[in-house]
Amino acid sequence: MERVGVLVVSYGSREAAMVDAFIRSNKYKVELYIADRQRNPFNLRRAEEHVVIPDLNINTIYRFAEKHRDKIDFGIVGPEKPIIEGIRDLIENNLGIPMICPTKEYALERSKVLQRILFQEVVPEVNPRFKVFYPKDYSSIEDVKRDLYKWLDELNNEVAVKPDAPAAGKGVGVWGDHFNTREELLEHFLANFKVGPVIVEEKIEGEESSFQAFCDGKHIVPLPETRDYKRAFDGDRGPNTGGMGTYKSRGYILPFMRPEDWEEEKRIIERIFEKLKGGGSNPNLRGMPFYEAFIHTGRGPMILENNSRPGDPEIIPILALLKDDFVDICFRMIEGSLTRIDIEDKAAVVVYKVPPTYGDYIKFFPEMVKRDEVGTPVILEEAENLSKKYGDNIRIYPGSMELREDGRCYALSSRAVAVLGISEDIQGAREIAMEGIKAIKGGALWHRNDIASRDHIERSIKHMEDLRRGIRWQFT
Ligand code: GLY
């Protein structure tokens, strides 16, 4: 088998799933050089060389790549921070190692304002109404408050408040979800306004979906749509998180979408791609420049935000269902010849297990936390052994978790471990994922119980049917 060396810049479970996809290659012997945020037990076992870089500093990642440059054929990056800081530019320009992620210029998530301005130019019909408040334009809080309240009058208070700079989902506040009075909204606004521009945009009622695509600079290849579970608690309540789970249906669309919604999403992304590509091809876009959050309304999808990285956990089910060799997909992205990808026509569900401090669970539900388990080792073996029952239809991907000197795994502060279930339908996949989740013991970890549940999906379907008939829901 041909040997291939791959640099993986890893944050959590999403990259463990990438590592798994590489290792499963039956065409190449893949040697992995992993720059990781922690001593991830899954990655450690599979890496040729593994280094821990807790802040994923790009100069430290660069030095690791430089040390192994003769053995690395290409690199791939999961998390957004190194992409925004220019990891691709640094490594490609100085070491000549092709990187799979956009260059710094195309990391559009560095500024939500620039994104909105781009969408307004290219796809205004799907861009919510928005106004940007720049600190440089105001000399007093009273001035900005006056303009803000005027804008709130126009939008009837139904707004989302978003800081310009990335805040890992935590900076976004939504009327009715995160605040119910103008005073609360103002407090949230000012906390963000202290550090930079703030967008106040129309709140859109609908159901969210995640669009992802691989891109070689000439073509974009859309991947099946997934649903993210952004809020911490069951029933889509509580603080925003990085995502507590996801599901994908068979086929390319989600149960609450219509085929024309999918066609419209692809049209929107094509328009943005054409604009950024500027005709011909633009290899700087290589990677996943379009991981888009859409919100489906009665009038079709509208655009919420763009990221230049794969979704976590949304890419996990896709990677597990690739029929094509992941190494070949990467080579084709580098060559500019990626025109299609074959994906198994199965359903998949991912559920995350997280520590008590995550999503402020311990504050909201102190009585639910298993106090005697806090800080104890997390036992994965029983869940891993479920592969005897389910084969490749169950995967356990540790994320924010480290292997310590005592040979045991301990959860860190973020999403600790993802369990993926695969089946012919969503409910079958959910059952497998939940069995895996329940088999993981220790660390006082908790999870959402309604990821991909029948009730949750039926509610989304009903919500969309009502919205298409012009009926809005009152959320409490
Ligand atoms: N699941 C949300 C994200 O990756 O940003």
Query: And the tokens for 30?
Result: 């893949």
Ligand 1 contacts CB of residue 311 (under 6 A): yes
Q: Which residues pair with 411 in a beta bridge?
A: 401
Ligand 1 contacts CB of residue 228 (under 6 A): yes
CA 419 to each of CA 19, 22, 400, 432: distance values in angstroms, whole numbers, following the listed order = 15, 18, 13, 9
Residue 295 carries which side chain, given as an amino acid letter?
A: I
Domains of the chain: 2-101 (3.40.50.20), 129-202 (3.30.1490.20), 347-445 (3.90.600.10)
Closest-lying ligand 1 atom to the alpha carbon of residue 311: 4
Ligand 1 contacts CB of residue 242 (under 6 A): yes
3-state SS class at 450: coil
pTM: 0.97
408 exposure class (CB count in 10 Å sphere: 0-12, 13-18, 19+): middle
Given a contact cutoff of 8 angstroms between Cβ atoms, the answer to whether 327 and 231 are in contact is no
Beta-sheet strand order (sheet of 227-228): 227-228, 245-248, 347-353, 417-423, 394-398
DSSP 349-404: EEEEEB-TTGGGHHHH-GGGS-GGGTTPPBB-HHHHTTHHHHGGGEEEEE-SEEE-
Task: Determine the length of the chain.
Answer: 476
CA of 327 to the centre of ligand 1 (A): 24
Residue 171 pLDDT: 82
Q: CA torsion, points 191, 192, 195, 198, in degrees to nearest 10?
A: -150
In 298-432 the beta strands, taken as DSSP E runs, fall at 300-307, 347-353, 394-398, 401-403, 409-411, 417-423
> Number of C-alpha atoms within 13 angstroms, CB side, residue 201?
25
Closest-lying ligand 1 atom to the alpha carbon of residue 243: 1
Given a contact cutoff of 8 angstroms between Cβ atoms, the answer to whether 451 and 229 are in contact is yes
3-state SS class at 242: coil
For the chain, 476 residues long, give each residue's pLDDT as a single digit of tens. 999 999 999 999 999 999 999 999 999 999 999 999 999 999 999 999 999 999 999 999 999 999 999 999 999 999 999 999 999 999 999 999 999 999 999 999 999 999 999 999 999 999 999 999 999 999 999 999 999 999 999 999 999 999 999 876 668 899 998 899 999 999 999 999 999 999 999 999 999 999 999 999 999 999 999 999 999 999 999 999 999 999 999 999 999 999 999 999 999 999 999 999 998 899 999 999 999 999 999 999 999 999 999 999 999 999 999 999 999 999 999 999 999 999 999 999 999 999 999 999 999 999 999 999 999 999 999 999 999 999 999 999 999 999 999 999 999 999 999 999 999 999 999 999 999 999 999 999 999 999 999 999 999 999 999 999 999 997 65
Pocket test for ligand 1, best of 208, 210, 247 (most atoms within 8 A of CB): 210
Q: Which backbone phi and psi does 411 adopt, to 5 degrees?
A: -75, 140
CA 19 to each of CA 33, 317, 335, 340: distance values in angstroms, whole numbers, following the listed order = 10, 14, 21, 22
Query: And the tokens for 277?
Result: 């590509």
- Other beta carbons within 10 angstroms of residue 454's beta carbon come to 11
Residue 279 pLDDT: 85
